[in-house]
Amino acid sequence: MLEAFQATLSSMLFMFLCISIGFFMKKKSLLPENSAGVLSKLENYLFVPALCLCTFSKYCTWESLKEDYIIIIYSAVTLAVMMIIAIFLSKFFTKDPFTVNVYRYALTFANFAYLGNAIVPIVMGDKALYYYMLFTLPHTAVSNTWGISILNPNNSKKNIWKKLLNPPCVAILIGMIIGLTGVYDYVPTFLTSTVYGLSACMGPVAMLLTGFVIGGYSIKKLLKNKGSYIATALRLVIFPIAIVTCMKLLGADKMIMQFAVFAFGTSLGINTVVFPTAFGADATQGASMAMISNAIGVITIPCLYAAVMYFI
């Protein structure tokens, strides 16, 4: 148990340090004001797609899909339940329609991509990342469609499914084709090395981006938001414990429960800041939840993972 806790804590401290560096650089104006947009584009157009492409092309096979489809089923069902709970609970936080949607997103999705994808290979191994990405496929699909639409103050649902044609999703599809056809073994080493090198940038740059975005707000103002503490407690403690307990009762594999910790129990990401800002809406609530949950998550995430490893 102690070994699992230390390994996860070390990873979380590394990520938190990257957040702190991004925060410091923003407060000291060491980077241009448009740096958040540049870092975000690097993540979404280069680093995340590289990680998806690298992982799926290497490990996706017909056998893995036939044997491990249950991973996706567990995730999809759990996510559907979480959406229903989030839609219900979000109404009790505020009366403002848009802020309700911010809470709705925060209670449905943890930072399953940027943070989960970065921690899983460190504490569980590279191949585990592939299975984790299978687990989070429903999250990727729903967050890029329904999730983005509710963070738009105009609430535009036009061409909602076209939002799936984004670089990470396209990279997953290409990676699956490469893996299923066996082409990966014939790809030149310099290409695989390049993609792997770019994928390694995903976690640190995502955390730098998180800190840089949070640094644009007043810390005192963000800390005064009482709703953020309640949402953080639900996101980091109550929801993941309830989900893992239910999975245990349903006889889920231990690995699936480990994935649930990182998919449902990680801190809130920055989508509730980046997208509202892009649409011209106030992102203070999202920034507050992101800052508080990332700080507290340094301890709660290692504790949850260690508990699953030891007690289950």
Q: What's the pLDDT at 267?
A: 93
Q: Which residues contact 250 (CB under 8 A, 6 or more apart)?
A: none
Q: What's the pLDDT at 157?
A: 55
pLDDT 10s digits, 111-162: 999 999 999 999 999 899 999 999 999 999 999 889 988 888 776 555 666 6
2 pLDDT above the threshold of 90 = no
Burial string for 32-59 (b: 16+ CB within 10 Å, else e) reads eeebbeebbebbeebbbbbbbbbbbbbb
CA distances from residue 184 to 30, 58, 69, 263 in whole angstroms, order as listed:
41, 6, 22, 28
The residue written with tokens 């449902």 in the block is 264
Q: Which residues contact 273 (CB under 8 A, 6 or more apart)?
A: 213, 214, 283, 286, 287, 290
**Mean local confidence (pLDDT), 225-237:** 94
Q: What's the pLDDT at 185?
A: 86
Q: What's the pLDDT at 269?
A: 84
CA distances from residue 286 to 60, 91, 104 in whole angstroms, order as listed:
35, 16, 11
Percent of the chain whose pLDDT exceeds 70: 97
Distance CA 141, CA 38 (A): 24
CB 101 within 8 A of CB 90: yes
Burial string for 166-179 (b: 16+ CB within 10 Å, else e) reads bbbbebbeebbebb
Class of domain 2-311: mainly alpha
Percent of the chain whose pLDDT exceeds 90: 73
Identify the three-state secondary structure at position 1.
Answer: coil
Q: Which two tokens stand for residue 208?
A: 């730098």
pLDDT 10s digits, 65-92: 888 899 999 999 999 999 999 999 999 9
Q: What's the pLDDT at 37?
A: 87
**Mean local confidence (pLDDT), 258-269:** 94
Q: Which two tokens stand for residue 26?
A: 């923003």
54 pLDDT above the threshold of 70 = yes
Count Cβ atoms within 10 A of the Cβ of residue 23 and give its class: 0-12 exposed, 13-18 middle, 19 or more buried: buried
Q: Which residues contact 244 (CB under 8 A, 6 or more apart)?
A: 257, 260, 261, 304, 308, 312
266 pLDDT above the threshold of 80 = yes
pLDDT 10s digits, 275-309: 887 777 788 999 999 999 999 999 999 999 999 98
220 pLDDT above the threshold of 70 = yes
**Mean local confidence (pLDDT), 253-267:** 95
HSE of 252 in the Cβ direction (CA atoms, 13 Å)?
27
DSSP 206-261: HHHHHHHHHTTS-HHHHHT-HHHHHHHHIIIIIHHHHHHHHHHHTT--HHHHHHHH
Task: Give the predicted TM-score (pTM) of the model.
Answer: 0.91
Q: What is the mean pLDDT of the chain?
A: 91
Distance CA 236, CA 247 (A): 17
